[in-house]
Structure 1
Amino acid sequence: MSRSRRIRAEATAAWHSFLRRKTAVFFTFFFPVLLVVIFGVLVRTQPTDGGLFAEPAGYYLPGYLATVVLFTPLSRVGSEIARHRDDNRFEKLATTPLTRGEWLLAHTAVNVLIIGLASLLILGLVLLLTTASVPPVVGLLLLLPFIVLAVVLFCGFGALLGRLADSQDGVIAASNTIALPLLFLSDTFITLDQLPAWFGPLVDLSPLTYFARGVRAITYTPGEPYATELGVLAALAVAFFVAGAYAIPRTD
């Protein structure tokens, strides 16, 4: 069996496994809907009042998208590795030609599809429920590399968590502990001028910061350069994917 067929077979199995978990499917798409409704509709932005959510609605689109590119890969890939380990599946996989990198690539592809659909849902809700505007379709196509690279990065990160955590519950706890601070301290929902001066440089250490700034440059401030953010995100995506693939156990 060729490499492409191995990856396709594993991706197909992972996709059907996701669809069989109705609760996971529901909350994967319901969570971003809830986020947009709460922050975009119920907590309306007041640009002249200052404080949290004081920027125009379009400013927060990167934060909504960051939610799905961060939480979904961390929890799904980490939990999948923990589940495979608990069910002794890695011993069986070790007897097949499927490599660790191919396994992670297949599951990353499924996450790209899932998060791509969730991102389209978020874009539609933001346009429908808020005053935000987004660039035309050609401009939106520029979002694709940012979304794909962010998913690759956090799938690799999720694989590391799956290896380090000793159970599925441990993966969920670890992913939430890491993802929640990153979500709000990566130039997404909280602006830099609302943080202490000493904390500002630490924001640049978050991988999610480069996703948020790149997406904002495309959707909120068209014409602002984003090549640096894309380059950093690409380098981090490669590094985390390689580390995640190496961390996947071959045996239990």
Structure 2
Amino acid sequence: MTAAGRVRAEASAAWRSFTRRRTAVFFTFFFPVILILIFAVLVQTNPGGGGLFAQPPGYYLPGYLAVVVLFTPLSRVGSEVARHREGNRFEKLATTPLGRAEWLLAHTLVNVAIIGIAGLLILGLMALVTGTASLALGPATLALVAAFVAFAVALFCGFGAVLGGLADSQDGVIAASNTVALPLLFLSDTFVSPGLLPAWFRPAMNLSPLTYFARGVRDLTYRPGAVGADASSVGSLAGWEANLAVLVVLTLVFFAAGAYAIPRTD
């Protein structure tokens, strides 16, 4: 069997395993709905009024996407690696032609598909409940946003594999992923704009991979000319191209680290 065939077979098995877990399927897609209903409908935004949600609704689209791009791969891949370790499955996989990088690629492809569906759900809900006055969502833009999502998912799949390789149990993976994800979510130019943070901390935002995802998506989709928008807070690099380039490089690094962290045997 070729490498492509091995990856396809493992991805097919991983997809069937996911769809059989009805609770996981429900909350994977229902969580974005809850998130948008709470923050975009109940809390709403207050352009020009100061505070956490002081930008137009379109400004926070990268934040909503970042939630599923960040949390889902970290927890799913990390837990999967920990589950395989506890069940001595990597010892069995070591006797097959399937390599560690191929195993991780297969599970990454499944996560890209899952989070791609969740991302489309988020875009649809945003357009439905907040309108598109501060969003630019043409076909070319959507294709580029899909590229950002795919690379970011691959990056955090690699990160999740590292956590799964280091943690001693599934509970440990969940605790570690939440400890990593929560600070990244709010300190990566997603929901909290740089202007609300101390000046000395703002350069540290560039250390977060999620920052380049959020800024790139925002540069593509957000119209800073909307009423109440703070144009100075839109992307600190030279447009979405630079953010995508950095994200691609980081994805390769984290994916390689994740493949290396997957144990050959238990």
Superposition TM-score, scaled by structure 1 size: 0.98
**For residue 174 of structure 1, what is the aligned residue in structure 2?**
176
Q: Which residue of 1 aligns with 2:21?
A: 21
Partner residue, 2:77: 77
Instruction: Using the TM superposition, give the Cα deviation of residue 134 of structure 1 relative to its aligned residue in structure 2, in angstroms.
Output: 3.2
Structure 1 position 135, deviation (Å): 2.1
Q: Deviations over 1:78-100 (max 9, x none)?
A: 00000001111011000000000
Structure 1: stretches of 5+ with no match in the other structure: none
Tell me the residue number matched to 2:213. Answer: 211
For residues 149-168 of structure 1, the aligned pairs below 5 Å read 149-168=151-170
Instruction: Quote the offset at 1:225 in angstroms.
Output: 2.1
Name 2:90's counterpart in structure 1.
90
Hey, what's the Cα distance between the residues in 1 that align with 2:213 and 2:79? 24
Give the AA of the match of 1:237.
T
SS at match of 2:52: coil
Segments of 5+ residues of structure 2 without an aligned counterpart are 225-237
Which residue number in structure 2 is paired with residue 136 of structure 1?
138
Q: Which residue number in structure 2 is paired with residue 2 of structure 1? A: 2
- Root-mean-square deviation (Å): 1.3
Match of 1:250 in 2: 264
**1: CA distance between counterparts of 2:213 and 2:188?**
9
Distance 1:168 1:87 in 2: 11
- Distance, in Å, in 1 between the alignment partners of 2:162 and 2:209 is 15
CA contact (8 A) 2:58 2:223 kept: no
Question: In the aligned structure 2, how far is the partner of 1:58 from the partner of 1:200?
Answer: 22
SS at structure 1 position matched to 2:207: coil
Give SS of 2:53's match: coil
Once residues 15 and 137 of structure 2 are traced to their aligned partners in structure 1, the CA distance between those partners, rounded to angstroms, is 31
SS in 2 for 1:180: helix
1:233 corresponds to 2:244 = no
When structure 1 is superposed on structure 2, of 201-210 and 24-33 the one drifting more is 24-33
Structure 2 length-normalised TM = 0.92
Deviations 1:70-129 (CA, angstroms, capped at 9, x unpaired): 000000000000000111101100000000000000000000000000000000000001
> How far apart are 1:24 and its partner, in Å?
0.9
1:174 CA drift (Å) = 0.6
Shift of 1:241: 0.3
Query: In the aligned structure 2, how far is the partner of 1:109 from the partner of 1:96?
Result: 20
Measured against aligned partners, the alpha-carbon deviations of 1:212-249 in whole angstroms (never above 9, x if no partner) come to 00000000048x72111001000000000001001100
Aligned mates of 2:154, 2:223 — CA distance in 1: 25
Three-state SS of the structure 2 residue aligned to 1:51 is coil
In the alignment, which residue of structure 2 is the partner of 1:57?
57
Alpha-carbon distance in 1 for matches of 2:52, 2:65: 18
- Residues 194-216 of structure 1: per-residue CA shift (max 9 Å, x gap): 00111101111000000000000
Residue pair 2:184, 2:210 contacting (<8 A) in 1 also: yes
Quote the Cα distance in structure 1 between the aligned partners of 2:142 and 2:55.
21
Q: What residue is the counterpart of 2:230 in the other structure?
A: none
Give the secondary structure class of the aligned counterpart of 2:201: helix
| 2:136–2:223 Cα contact (<8 Å) kept | no
Identity %: 69
Deviation at 1:62, TM superposition (A): 0.2
How far apart, in 2, do the equivalents of 1:210 and 1:160 lie?
21
